[in-house]
């Protein structure tokens, strides 16, 4: 198939999923076009040679340029691609504006009518009603798609509850490349920890080695980083530990200020965006996520794939990845004291129990393979193409496809 994928290029999970899916589909023989304002964060060097072509969305320089429209620019880029490559499928990642732009592109393009597929990731649904008009456009776009997928059962349920779309929403969980996101060799792990100033072993007999706790974030309010810092302050009162926060975003300056106020600044490292995040994840004792809501929680899956257990809030997607007490712990949202207790439970467990949890985390992550996800998307594409051919987008039979190991 000839497939156009529209996504954001930033380090957020939706762009990562779209890019990795593009590579997995290209490996299965499809012609894949990635459409984004910049090369996506995880786009691989030499992508053009492995069947994925990148197309930059440029916002035209126009006399009224103080009002640039990214949405219109993506629609133009997609319409152009549909015509030039006679696309079979247009796959929009993130409902707004990509699904709407895909609809416009399909209407505007001449000579081809690709199937329109949207994948919902999280805040595109759960924050859409912050602006009623925005929600109306999301609803309109979803109803014009030939297929809609969500990255978790939780997000599917939220989408049905909030939008009552014309068709069912298929669940295709996100996935992880278990060769890249793998447990680190002990020497590599020790080297990464040394660079962070966190020894892998105790410095003196009778004193425990500090725990390395890692969080990856876009520092948006939904991540509740202040809760994480408050929980960490409690953890530090009991045991030596270092918290590494990777990523960048609007709440980062306030998080630094809070770390200083809580007196934990010397033990908190803000390392910004990290290219080879698998090294940082693999060096951790635990991965922490205190979000208010996660459509999926890709960083949770990536940490698990590195053999690292997770403490997360009961906030949607992570509840489908972690069974409380098996691959990690789940804590209520907005309760730093409970979050700290859950984290300490894991850190203070006997070594054999800790090892078993690492193995469970890795084993569970192996069930979310890129190949299975690409196969599930192919099936959605085929069904959507059939629907587009018939020219009908309403009253669609339920599509229930799961690529990962949902319980
Ligand atoms: O909504 C965001 O904060 C960003 C968005 C993105 O573009 O990465 O993240 C969402 O998509 C990811 C990939 O499917 C999910 O793993 C994240 O859980 C989801 N974020 C939220 O729902 C907050």
The pLDDT of residue 155 is 97
Q: What tokens appear for 307 in the block?
A: 């053999």
For 299, half-sphere exposure in the C-beta direction (CA atoms, 13 angstrom radius) is: 28
For the Cβ of 316 lying below 6 angstroms from any atom of ligand 1, the answer is: no
Q: What is the spatial distance between Cα 382 and Cα 88, in angstroms, rounded to a whole number?
A: 9
For 245, half-sphere exposure in the C-beta direction (CA atoms, 13 angstrom radius) is: 25
Low-confidence ranges of the chain (pLDDT < 70): 11, 43-49, 63-65, 202-206, 392-407
Q: What is the spatial distance between Cα 10 and Cα 16, in angstroms, rounded to a whole number?
A: 8
Q: List 243's β-bridge partners, or say none.
A: 213, 268
**373 C-alpha to center of ligand 1: Å?**
17
For the Cβ of 165 lying below 6 angstroms from any atom of ligand 1, the answer is: no
Residue nearest to atom 9 of ligand 1 (CA): 13
**389 C-alpha to center of ligand 1: Å?**
32
Q: Of all atoms in ligand 1, which is nearest to the CA of residue 223?
A: 23
Q: How far is CA 205 from CA 184, 201, 257, 355, 392, in A?
A: 25, 10, 35, 21, 71
For the Cβ of 298 lying below 6 angstroms from any atom of ligand 1, the answer is: yes
The pLDDT of residue 45 is 57
For the Cβ of 97 lying below 6 angstroms from any atom of ligand 1, the answer is: no
For the Cβ of 220 lying below 6 angstroms from any atom of ligand 1, the answer is: yes
**151 C-alpha to center of ligand 1: Å?**
9
Residue nearest to atom 2 of ligand 1 (CA): 123
Q: Of all atoms in ligand 1, which is nearest to the CA of residue 11?
A: 8
For the Cβ of 96 lying below 6 angstroms from any atom of ligand 1, the answer is: no
The pLDDT of residue 337 is 98
For the Cβ of 297 lying below 6 angstroms from any atom of ligand 1, the answer is: yes
20-53 burial, b if ≥16 CB within 10 A, otherwise e?
Answer: bbbbbbbeeebbbbbbbbeebbbbeeebeeebbb
The pLDDT of residue 394 is 47
For the Cβ of 294 lying below 6 angstroms from any atom of ligand 1, the answer is: yes
Count CB atoms within 10 A of the CB of residue 355.
12
Do 135 and 161 contact (CB within 8 A), yes or no?
no
Q: What is the spatial distance between Cα 117 and Cα 98, in angstroms, rounded to a whole number?
A: 10
The pLDDT of residue 396 is 42
The pLDDT of residue 65 is 65
**207 C-alpha to center of ligand 1: Å?**
39
Q: Of all atoms in ligand 1, which is nearest to the CA of residue 93?
A: 7
**119 C-alpha to center of ligand 1: Å?**
11
For the Cβ of 174 lying below 6 angstroms from any atom of ligand 1, the answer is: yes
What is 186-365's CATH topology?
A: Rossmann fold (3.40.50)
For the Cβ of 175 lying below 6 angstroms from any atom of ligand 1, the answer is: no
Q: Of all atoms in ligand 1, which is nearest to the CA of residue 122?
A: 22
Q: pTM for the full model?
A: 0.93
Terminal-to-terminal C-alpha distance of the chain: 32
The dihedral through the CA atoms of 366, 369, 371, 373 has a sign that is positive
The pLDDT of residue 399 is 42
**10 C-alpha to center of ligand 1: Å?**
11
Q: What tokens appear for 121 in the block?
A: 């990731």
Q: How far is CA 44 from CA 47, 53, 94, 273, in A?
A: 5, 11, 21, 17
Q: Mutation test of ligand 1: which of 11, 295, 299 has the most ligand atoms closer than 8 Å to its C-beta?
A: 295
Domain(s) labelled CATH 3.40.50.2000 in the chain stretch across: 2-175+369-404, 186-365
Q: Mutation test of ligand 1: which of 95, 121, 273, 370 has the most ligand atoms closer than 8 Å to its C-beta?
A: 121
The pLDDT of residue 133 is 83
Residue nearest to atom 23 of ligand 1 (CA): 294
Q: Of all atoms in ligand 1, which is nearest to the CA of residue 296?
A: 18
For the Cβ of 76 lying below 6 angstroms from any atom of ligand 1, the answer is: no
Q: What CATH superfamily classification does 2-175+369-404 receive? A: Glycogen Phosphorylase B; (3.40.50.2000)
């Amino acid at each position: 198939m000839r497939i156009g994928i529209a996504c954001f290029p930033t380090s957020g999970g939706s762009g990562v999923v779209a890019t990795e899916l593009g590579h997995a589909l290209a490996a299965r023989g499809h012609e894949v076009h990635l459409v984004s304002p910049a090369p996506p964060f995880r786009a691989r060097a030499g992508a053009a040679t492995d069947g994925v072509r990148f197309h930059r969305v440029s916002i035209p320089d126009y006399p009224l340029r103080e009002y640039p429209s990214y949405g219109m620019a993506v629609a133009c880029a997609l319409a152009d691609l549909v015509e030039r490559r006679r696309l079979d499928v247009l796959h929009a990642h993130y409902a707004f504006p990509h699904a709407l732009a895909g609809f416009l592109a399909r209407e505007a393009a001449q000579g081809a009518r690709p199937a329109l597929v949207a994948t919902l990731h999280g805040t595109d649904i759960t924050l859409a009603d912050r602006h009623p008009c925005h929600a109306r456009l999301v609803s309109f776009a979803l109803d014009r798609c030939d297929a809609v997928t969500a990255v978790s059962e939780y997000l599917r349920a939220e989408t049905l509850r909030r939008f009552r779309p014309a068709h069912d929403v298929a669940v295709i969980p996100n996935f992880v490349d278990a060769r890249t996101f793998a447990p680190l060799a002990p020497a590599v792990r020790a080297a990464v920890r040394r660079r962070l100033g966190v020894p892998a072993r105790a410095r003196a007999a009778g004193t425990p080695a500090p725990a390395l706790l890692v969080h990856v974030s876009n520092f948006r309010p939904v991540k509740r980083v202040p809760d994480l810092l408050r929980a960490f302050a409690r953890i530090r009162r009991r045991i030596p530990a270092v918290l590494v926060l990777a990523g960048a975003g609007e709440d980062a300056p306030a998080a630094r200020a809070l770390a200083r106020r809580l007196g934990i600044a010397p033990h908190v490292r803000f390392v910004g965006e990290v290219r080879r995040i698998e090294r940082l994840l693999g060096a951790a004792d635990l991965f922490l996520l205190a979000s208010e809501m996660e459509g999926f929680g890709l960083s949770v899956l990536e940490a698990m794939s590195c053999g690292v257990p997770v403490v997360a809030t009961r906030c949607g997607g992570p509840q489908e990845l972690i069974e409380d007490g098996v691959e990690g712990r789940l804590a209520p949202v907005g309760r730093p004291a409970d979050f700290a207790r859950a984290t300490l439970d894991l850190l203070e467990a006997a070594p054999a129990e800790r090892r078993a949890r690492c193995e469970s985390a890795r084993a569970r992550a192996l069930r979310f393979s890129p190949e299975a996800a690409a196969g599930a998307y192919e099936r959605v594409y085929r069904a959507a193409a059939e629907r587009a051919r018939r020219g009908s987008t309403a009253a669609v039979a339920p599509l229930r496809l799961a690529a990962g190991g949902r319980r």
